[in-house]
Amino acid sequence: MARWQPDARGRLQQAALDLFRERGYAEVTVTEIADRAGLTKRTFFNHFADKREVFFANAQAFEASVLTHLAGADPALNAIDATVEALTRCGLELAELSTADEARARFSLIASTPELRERDLIKTAGLIAAMIEALGRRGVPPRAAGFAVRAGIAVFNAAIADWLAEPTAAFPDLMRKVLAELRDAVAAPVS
């Protein structure tokens, strides 16, 4: 009889990512993920609703972390600076959990798979709504909160792309650089 091994959820996530990278998302079944992890299909469904959810398993923890950092941001910060600070802290946490190669593989899979792009958009929309609500609790009007959050997400995505191109760069520096570029673009006079 095989010895029980801990962290079934983590093993399923790693097995799924490995298989998706090897063969593509559409070509992998839940049974194959469970087999690769040394678990049963039933165990898979005890942890995840479907194979899209195994791919996005950390999205809920990421959102919780962003909201915690946003709530803890210095009250003197304006909405965009509080948003960027929270996303910077979460970016640092992500970098500790994942290599640039793993992150590159995840982004590539999302870009090449309509089903994953759709789920990514849904997860991002939920994150944006939660962040707008969190800024509202800081006294930021809804429209201003929406602008700040969407701009902050754009800064975060650009900084992640820069980090993937240069993984040795300090993520907070990348976030500051991209935020400065955004501010310059918004402040540029109209010709």
Do 105 and 155 fall into the same domain?
Answer: yes
Residue 172 lies in a domain: yes
> Residue 101 in contact with residue 45, Cβ under 8 Å?
no
pLDDT at 47: 95
Residue 190 lies in a domain: no
How far, CA to CA in Å, does 122 sit from each of 24, 75, 119, 127, 128? Answer: 21, 29, 5, 9, 10
Do 78 and 45 fall into the same domain?
Answer: no
Confidence of residue 3 (pLDDT cuts 50, 70, 90): very low
Do 92 and 174 fall into the same domain?
Answer: yes
For the segment 11-39, the average pLDDT, to the nearest whole number, is 94
- Give which of 74, 73, 98 is closest to 86, Cα–Cα: 73
Do 101 and 146 fall into the same domain?
Answer: yes
Confidence of residue 7 (pLDDT cuts 50, 70, 90): confident
Do 46 and 62 fall into the same domain?
Answer: no
Percent of the chain whose pLDDT exceeds 90: 82
Please determine, for residue 97, whether its predicted confidence score (pLDDT) is greater than 60: yes
Look over the chain and give the mean of its residue pLDDT values, rounded to a whole number. 92
pLDDT at 5: 65
Residue 25 lies in a domain: yes
For the segment 22-29, the average pLDDT, to the nearest whole number, is 94
Do 87 and 163 fall into the same domain?
Answer: yes
Do 41 and 62 fall into the same domain?
Answer: no
pLDDT at 105: 87
For the segment 13-30, the average pLDDT, to the nearest whole number, is 94
Residue 96 lies in a domain: yes
Residue 1 lies in a domain: no
Do 160 and 71 fall into the same domain?
Answer: yes
Helix and strand tally (H, E) in the chain? 10, 0
Do 78 and 162 fall into the same domain?
Answer: yes
For the segment 154-162, the average pLDDT, to the nearest whole number, is 96
Q: What is the pLDDT of residues 98-147, one digit of tens each?
A: 788 888 888 999 999 999 999 999 999 999 999 999 999 999 999 999 99
Q: How many domains are contained in the chain?
A: 2
